[in-house]
Amino acid sequence: MTFNDNALRDIGLSYLSITAEKDITKDFIDAITIQCVHEENGHKEVSLKGLNYIDEELPNGVAFLALMVLAAHKMIREANVHPNNYFVHLRKLLNIPLNNTVSRDGLGGGVEEPLWLAWNSWLEKHSWEPTAQKGDGAMIYLNYTIGQALFRDEDIVFLKGKYLRTLSLPEGLRALDESQLGGWLRRQQFNRAHLRSGFESSDTGRTAVFFDEAYKIYQTLDWDQPIENVGSVADFITTRKLSAGLYRQTSTRGITSYYMMPRVPNQWKAVDIEIQTDNGEYKRLEIFRPSLFKPLWPIDPFGNAAKSFPLKGSSQFEEIVFPAREFWILTRDPDDRYGGALATWKKYPSLLGEEFQFLLLIKGDNDSVLLRQLNRFKESGLIQWDGEPIVRKGFLEYNGCMILSSAWDGIIPDEDASELYEALKPVAKASVILSSGLKVPNQNAWIEKYPPTLTVYGFEKDFTLRISCGNVEIQQTEIEAQKPQILKECESSGTYRLEVLWNNQVLASITLRIIPWDEVEPNNFETSRWSDIGSAIISGGQIRAKEDSHG
């Protein structure tokens, strides 16, 4: 639950049409206060009655939880993370006198835990991974909240300063894409344990949200400001750039082309938006997948510098940036692993996880540092690929790459190859791959009676698989690594938790949702294909004159 002033502002502006001048944060806090804080004889008390339910498909307590996360964001120093300190911040937001004792004002003691549990169960029901977890000791209940807070205001100021000091020059460093910046962040030695816990987590989902937030700050930085001006208060962060990746296509004649494929930003509100091509014409951006626009036009994957393409039609976004990279990692279409295109489907591909086989494009020729280093990784048994690389103009294609070993620490990479090294080095200890079965892609669920096949990839021969539904453990069994098995225990509708353990330690877990046919929803995107019949084109029963074709 990423919830801070920026998120609030984005929601207010994008979804509620609130004007920018209005204090959206105050509005939000007032609304919560009216609902949850009751005053009697001058004594204020928080009541969460009725908030731990899911009514009409929505968790009642989500706004209060968001407020709790907002309070965590507003804490100043991580060293002060302690229940007493945290509740001071929360009381300030709720306008409860600070001399109230925690136990007397309805806060503390885990009263909010049922709300977190309801929230987690709602997330699981909708195929999202719950991340709020109970902690230990003094943090037993507070951990639910603190774990959700990404960057505190002071972290934002700190990161801005670090970017200005380290990435200002050469100017090419100001146009990194998400994964490049993610790799850079991983290579930094942060003293702030809170930032390290986000950037270095072995939970790829957690690192992805940290990288996204860090990227927002990077994208909106004024690179020309003096470092002293970064200030002590974080400004609102409004992203004005969209990033783009690559989509690979091979023609009937076997000619491979690479297309620029822009990403749909988080909290995107559908508007007609157009991109200016190299020859000055404008082309409409069309949604392709929930997080991607349709591939646009062929592009050289390895230009000398990042390229910027102006946008029109959006009050927020001004340009699309295609980065200058030394290498690209392309993975298979997650919705069509066998027939789909190779592309940068994910910003931060997990190379031991779902994207365990990938295509690697490396800039340069056989003498380049990157290629020498890549061969060194291969000789050390860290990576393997299919056959010989294909030589393209200015770069090489390595097909069917797989990360084989965890022992990347056994190599100290050349400084110039550290970004590649970091991108390839596996983060997780094991991963669960669900494949086959009858998946409903847009709902991230499988259909009853057609459960998926599970395969575990990891650095041991055998693992334990634990399957549970709700709080009930259905099965615990030993499984061999890389040996697919059908999840017959998960044929009926429901939400299942699949955990991979080794020596009683959970190494990887995944939520599996099985739905009945009645819950299958149609794909809402335009998916027509048009066949040319000479004077017209047809699609099912539709017919159009050729000039009406959109492609």
Partner 1 sequence: MANIKYLLFRGIGSKQRLRDDIRSAIREFRLGMEVPILKFEGGGGCQFYYGLGLSIDNVYVTAPSARVLYLLDYLKIKPIKNTMGRWFFENEEISKSFLKDNFEYESFLEPIKFESSSLDLDEDLFTYHEDDLIDDNSQDDTMMNHLLWWCSAKGDGSLRVFKDTAKLLWPQGFETYGSRSLMRKLLLLGDIEIVKKGQTYEWGIPPTTIVNSSYAGAYITGKMTPSILKNLHGAIKTGSHGGPTRIVINLPDVGNVFPVIEKPSEKISEALPSYLGWIKTLPGEPDIESHNYSFRIYNGRDFVATEGEEICSGFYEAKRIEGNHPPKVVVFNGTLWIGGAFYDLRWLARKVSGVDMSVYITKDGTLLVPNIERWPLLYERPLVLASGLLPLMKSIEGKDILVYASVGRAVAEVLTKKLELNLIEA
Site for partner 1 in 184-213 (CB under 8 A): 186, 189, 193, 196-197, 200-202
Residues 308-347, one symbol each (x = binds partner 1 by CB under 8 A, - = not), give ---------------------------xx-xxx-------
Least distance (Å) from partner 1 to the CB of residue 406? 5
Kind of pairing between the strands at 319-322 and 241-250: parallel
Specify the DSSP class assigned to residue 15: H
- What is the phi/psi pair of residue 47, to 5°? -125, 125
Question: Based on CB atoms, which residue is closest to partner 1, 128 or 408?
Answer: 408
| Cβ-contact 446, 512 below 8 angstroms | yes
| Cβ-contact 258, 336 below 8 angstroms | no
**With the C-alpha atoms ordered 283, 287, 291, 297, is the resulting torsion angle positive or negative?**
negative
Place of tokens 């400001």: 225
Question: Based on CB atoms, which residue is closest to partner 1, 16 or 79?
Answer: 79
Question: Based on CB atoms, which residue is closest to partner 1, 321 or 447?
Answer: 447
Stretch that binds partner 1, among 22-30, 171-179, 309-317, 437-445 (CB under 8 A): 437-445
In angstroms and rounded to an integer, the radius of gyration of the C-alpha atoms of the chain is 25
Least distance (Å) from partner 1 to the CB of residue 159? 17
Q: Looking at 526, 548, 549, 550, which residue binds partner 1 (CB under 8 A)?
A: 526
**Binding residue count for partner 1, defined by CB under 8 A:** 84
Question: Based on CB atoms, which residue is closest to partner 1, 233 or 412?
Answer: 412
Q: Looking at 316, 406, 468, 509, which residue binds partner 1 (CB under 8 A)?
A: 406
Tell me if 246 contacts partner 1 by CB under 8 A. Answer: no
- C-alpha 132/C-alpha 174 separation (Å) is 34
Tell me if 19 contacts partner 1 by CB under 8 A. Answer: no
Stretch that binds partner 1, among 161-169, 277-285, 292-300, 524-532 (CB under 8 A): 524-532
Question: Based on CB atoms, which residue is closest to partner 1, 188 or 225?
Answer: 188
Cβ density class 294-313: b for 16+ within 10 Å, e for less: bbbeebebbeeebbebebee
Question: In the numeric block, which tokens belong to residue 222?
Answer: 């004024």
Stretch that binds partner 1, among 52-60, 124-132, 360-368, 532-540 (CB under 8 A): 532-540
Tell me if 486 contacts partner 1 by CB under 8 A. Answer: no
Stretch that binds partner 1, among 61-69, 117-125, 271-279, 458-466 (CB under 8 A): 458-466
Least distance (Å) from partner 1 to the CB of residue 529? 4
Determine whether 21 is exposed, middle or buried from the number of CB atoms within 10 Å of its CB (0-12, 13-18, 19+).
Answer: exposed
Restricting to residues 376-395, name those near partner 1 by CB under 8 A. 381, 384, 386
Tell me if 59 contacts partner 1 by CB under 8 A. Answer: no
- C-alpha 365/C-alpha 197 separation (Å) is 38
Tell me if 521 contacts partner 1 by CB under 8 A. Answer: yes
Tell me if 254 contacts partner 1 by CB under 8 A. Answer: yes
Question: In the numeric block, which tokens belong to residue 253?
Answer: 């004649």
DSSP 84-129: HHHHHHHHHHHT--TTS-GGGGT-STTTTHHHHHHHHHHHHHTTPP
Q: Looking at 440, 469, 474, 510, which residue binds partner 1 (CB under 8 A)?
A: 440
Tell me if 399 contacts partner 1 by CB under 8 A. Answer: yes
Question: Based on CB atoms, which residue is closest to partner 1, 226 or 387?
Answer: 387
Least distance (Å) from partner 1 to the CB of residue 399? 7
Q: How many helices (DSSP H) and strands (DSSP E) are in the chain?
A: 12, 30
Tell me if 80 contacts partner 1 by CB under 8 A. Answer: no
Tell me if 487 contacts partner 1 by CB under 8 A. Answer: no
- C-alpha 73/C-alpha 319 separation (Å) is 30
Tell me if 416 contacts partner 1 by CB under 8 A. Answer: no
Question: In the numeric block, which tokens belong to residue 375?
Answer: 């061969």
Q: Looking at 458, 464, 498, 500, which residue binds partner 1 (CB under 8 A)?
A: 458
- C-alpha 138/C-alpha 143 separation (Å) is 9
Question: Based on CB atoms, which residue is closest to partner 1, 303 or 400?
Answer: 400
- C-alpha 194/C-alpha 198 separation (Å) is 7
Query: E strands within 341-452?
Result: 342-343, 358-363, 383-384, 390-392, 395-403, 430-435, 439-440, 445-447
Restricting to residues 117-156, name those near partner 1 by CB under 8 A. none
Tell me if 468 contacts partner 1 by CB under 8 A. Answer: no
Q: Looking at 219, 457, 498, 511, which residue binds partner 1 (CB under 8 A)?
A: 457
Tell me if 527 contacts partner 1 by CB under 8 A. Answer: yes
DSSP 35-102: HHEEEETTEEEE--TT-SSEETTEETTHHHHHHHHHHHHT-S-GGG-SHHHHHHHHHHHHT--TTS-G
Question: Based on CB atoms, which residue is closest to partner 1, 105 or 422?
Answer: 422
Place of tokens 């919830």: 3
The full length of the chain comes to 551
